């Protein structure tokens, strides 16, 4: 799994490539913690390169989502591939983490 973070307007865009599973989820948790401990902006995750996600990955995303909500910041996901989107739908996570088809759509939300 590769993670890169770039700043876009007031958001941190986190691009995840590869697999988010029992092995790699703690790496994401640690990498993103600097943007969640006292968040200064929204977090957008770009999942275009994410091939696979399991419940261990969802657990980390749920924690991020809860912390961001506490700080009144947004957390959203864009560009999820079909299989990953299906896992979100089966678990009801598509109802608690907003999902968009592009980064632009993510950024323009609520404006």
Partner 1 sequence: MTKNKNYKSDDRNLDWNRTMEFKIANSSRGLGKLREFLERATYSWNLPAKTLLELNLVLEELCANHVEHSGAPEAGYIEIALALDDEKCLTVTLKDSGPPFNPVEVPPPDITLPIEQRSAGGLGLHFVRHYTDSLTYSRDNNKNVVTMTKRIKGK
Q: How far apart are CA 79 and CA 47, in angstroms?
A: 5
Nearer to partner 1, 5 or 94 (CB): 94
The residues binding partner 1 (CB under 8 A) are: 19, 21-23, 51-52, 54-56, 58-59, 62, 65-66, 69, 83, 87, 90-92, 95-96
CA distances from 41 to 19, 63, 103 (A): 26, 17, 15
Minimum distance, C-beta of residue 33 to partner 1, in the bound complex (Å): 17
Helices (H) and strands (E) in the chain, counts: 4, 6
Nearer to partner 1, 14 or 20 (CB): 20
């Amino acid at each position: 799994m590769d993670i890169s973070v770039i700043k876009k307007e007031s958001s941190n865009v986190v691009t995840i490539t590869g697999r988010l599973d029992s092995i790699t989820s703690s790496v994401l948790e640690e990498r993103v913690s600097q943007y969640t401990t006292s968040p200064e902006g929204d977090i957008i995750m770009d999942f275009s390169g994410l091939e696979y996600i399991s419940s261990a990955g969802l657990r980390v995303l749920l924690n991020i989502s809860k912390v961001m909500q506490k700080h009144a910041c947004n957390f959203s996901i864009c560009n999820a591939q079909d299989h990953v989107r299906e896992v979100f739908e089966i678990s009801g996570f598509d109802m608690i983490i907003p999902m968009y088809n592009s980064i632009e759509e993510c950024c323009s939300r609520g404006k």
